Amino acid sequence: MVAPVHPTVSIGDLADLVNQWCDEHQVTPANGQAGERITERNIRYYRSRGLLDAPGGDDIGRKRGFTEKHRLQLKAIRLLQARGLPLDQIQVRIHGRSLDELRAIERLELHQLAGGGASPGAVSGAELVAGEGERWGVSALGTEFFLVSRRGRTLNGVQRKMVVAVLTGALEDGSASDKSVDGIPF
Is 4 a domain residue? no
pLDDT at 167: 81
Q: Which of 75, 70, 94 is nearest to 10 (CA)?
A: 70
Is 128 a domain residue? no
Per-residue model confidence as pLDDT tens for the chain (186 residues): 455 545 789 999 999 999 999 999 989 887 666 788 999 999 999 999 999 998 875 555 556 789 999 999 999 999 998 888 888 889 988 988 899 999 999 998 888 877 765 544 455 444 455 555 666 676 777 666 777 776 777 778 788 788 888 887 765 555 545 555 445 444
- Same structural domain, 32 and 113: yes
Is 127 a domain residue? no
Number of domains the chain contains:
2
How far is residue 101's CA from residue 96's CA, in Å, rounded to a whole number?
Answer: 9
CATH number of the domain bearing residue 24: 1.10.1660
- Same structural domain, 15 and 75: yes
- Give yes or no for a contact between 15 and 66, defined as CB atoms under 8 angstroms apart: no
- Same structural domain, 150 and 114: no
- Same structural domain, 60 and 94: yes
- Give yes or no for a contact between 17 and 72, defined as CB atoms under 8 angstroms apart: no
The parent domain of residue 31 ranges over 11-121
H/E segment holding residue 24: helix 11-25
- Same structural domain, 19 and 74: yes
- Same structural domain, 30 and 95: yes
How far is residue 4's CA from residue 138's CA, in Å, rounded to a whole number?
Answer: 45
20-38 b/e with 16+ CB inside 10 Å = b?
Answer: ebbeebebebeeeebeeeb
Is 153 a domain residue? yes
- Same structural domain, 104 and 46: yes
- Same structural domain, 19 and 109: yes
Is 2 a domain residue? no
pTM listed for this prediction: 0.59
pLDDT at 119: 45
pLDDT at 7: 75
